[in-house]
Amino acid sequence: MWEDLRNDINKDLDRIQNGDLNELEVFQKNTKEWVE
């Protein structure tokens, strides 16, 4: 479970580093959902 979560976060971070700011917004929204 945590492995999958970490993999998803790493994929999102890769996209963010590639300059996709739309992905950043999605990532932040997903992160809030995970935290709740």
What are the pLDDT digits (tens) for 10-27?
Answer: 988 887 777 666 666 787
Q: Which residue has the higher pLDDT, 22 or 30?
A: 30
Cα(36)–Cα(27) distance, integer angstroms: 14
Q: Is the pLDDT of residue 29 over 70?
A: yes
Asked if pLDDT for residue 30 goes beyond 70, the answer is: yes
| Per-residue pLDDT at 20 | 62
Buried b (16+ CB within 10 A) or exposed e, 5-33: eeeeeeebeebbeeeeeebeeebeeeeee
DSSP state of 30: H
Token digits of residue 21: 């700011």
Residue 31: pLDDT band (50, 70, 90) is confident
